[in-house]
Amino acid sequence: MLKVGVIGIGSISDMHIQAYQKNDQVKLIAFCDLSEERLAEKGKKYGVEKLYNHHEALLADSEIDAVSICTWNDSHAEIAIAALEAGKHVLVEKPVSMTVAEAERIEEAVKKSNKILQVGFVRRHADNVNVLKRFIDTNEFGEIYYAKASYLRRYGNPGGWFSDITKSGGGPLIDLGVHVIDISWYLMGRPRPVSVSGNTYHKLGNRSNIKNLSAYQAADYDPTHNDVEDLTNALIRFENGASLYVDVSFTLHAKKDETTVKLFGEKGGAEIEPELAIVLEKNDTILNVDPQIDHLGFDFVKSFDNEINHFVDCCVTGKESIAPIADGVEVMKMLNAIYESAKTGKEVYL
């Protein structure tokens, strides 16, 4: 049995906790959070008795083999490195850190520890992505030379720590963009990024004045503070000549929310968001292919189950994760370069 602790038990932690509880190889034994009230509530809800206020105390527990880190972005690196040094396997929520330097320090700690560290790129574990990946790996699309990704919320600033740049590191780019940038890059074959040109906009703020529409809110929602961007767009160029265009928003005067990821290759193309669709050219005819699978779209719960099961399997068997720290470092390079480009008004070379 892999004995697991969860550090940070806000909203996203429920997906980790519930997935661990479904896995027969796991015993969930400890929680850690700064909030005494939340600790008591979640401990009772999930039947976990070891409750810690500080991650150092949890990491000192020799019974714990592995941890999930679901804290604010600003603490990911510190806690991940401490966990590795304490001899724990680590699953750290995205983004792996707030800066490239932090991500590289985590990478060094992983090398020294001989432990598994998996980055929480949950979309890599989605069933529809796994289906598409097999088509890509058998060269159905040829070279994928362009991708376009959007994750646009018209009214979706979560408030709380998400809108405090000292805790989050940024707004929709580092929170939402990390998902669509990563899955596009992953499916493109993870080419090395060489340059980035980006823009950020601070026009609309939190928009807590809006009525009659519900939206996701952070566990510690506070509408009074917001110093993160509303919208980011960017063009990323890769060493192999491929390119990725991305735009993401917390708030935008758009008709509806939109999540799209599209890939274009020499022999065919595909969409993975909002639903899996494949375009092929056979016998001088263009075919729109509708794969017959249970979920064409992103199944949130199942994808987290798959992610946790993969992490547990890696911890138990020692095999390498499909979301290693090296990929976390590369994604951080792209995110940080977009913010730098937006700040300086110039293209950034990596």
What is the tens place of the pLDDT at every residue in 214-238?
988 887 788 788 999 999 999 999 9
Q: What is the CATH number of the domain that holds 195?
A: 3.30.360.10
Expressed as residue numbers, the domain containing 66 is 2-123+304-323
Verify that 215 and 313 share a domain, yes or no: no
Verify that 97 and 133 share a domain, yes or no: no
Verify that 38 and 136 share a domain, yes or no: no
Q: Which pTM value belongs to this model?
A: 0.96
% of the chain beyond a pLDDT of 90: 96
Helix axis angle for 100-113 and 76-85, nearest 10°, is 10
Average pLDDT over residues 256-284: 98
Verify that 66 and 133 share a domain, yes or no: no
Verify that 97 and 168 share a domain, yes or no: no
Distance CA 160, CA 163 (A): 6
What is the tens place of the pLDDT at every residue in 53-89?
999 999 999 999 999 999 999 999 999 999 999 999 9
Average pLDDT over residues 8-36: 97
Verify that 252 and 311 share a domain, yes or no: no
Q: Is the pLDDT score of 37 beyond 90?
A: yes
Q: What is the CATH number of the domain that holds 100?
A: 3.40.50.720
Verify that 64 and 159 share a domain, yes or no: no
% of the chain beyond a pLDDT of 70: 100
Verify that 145 and 91 share a domain, yes or no: no
What is the per-residue pLDDT for 219? Answer: 76
Q: Based on the structure, what is the number of domains in the chain? A: 2
What is the per-residue pLDDT for 223? Answer: 78
Verify that 13 and 148 share a domain, yes or no: no
Q: Is the pLDDT score of 95 beyond 90?
A: yes
What is the per-residue pLDDT for 217? Answer: 87
What is the SS3 assignment for 339?
helix
Q: Is the pLDDT score of 211 beyond 90?
A: yes
What is the per-residue pLDDT for 28? Answer: 98
Verify that 293 and 318 share a domain, yes or no: no
Verify that 153 and 218 share a domain, yes or no: yes
**What are the E-state strand segments in the chain?**
2-7, 26-32, 50-52, 66-69, 89-93, 117-120, 144-152, 193-201, 231-238, 243-249, 258-265, 268-273, 277-282, 285-289, 348-349
Q: Is the pLDDT score of 190 beyond 80?
A: yes
Does residue 117 contact residue 110 with C-beta atoms inside 8 Å?
yes
Verify that 158 and 292 share a domain, yes or no: yes
What is the tens place of the pLDDT at every residue in 251-267?
999 999 999 999 999 99
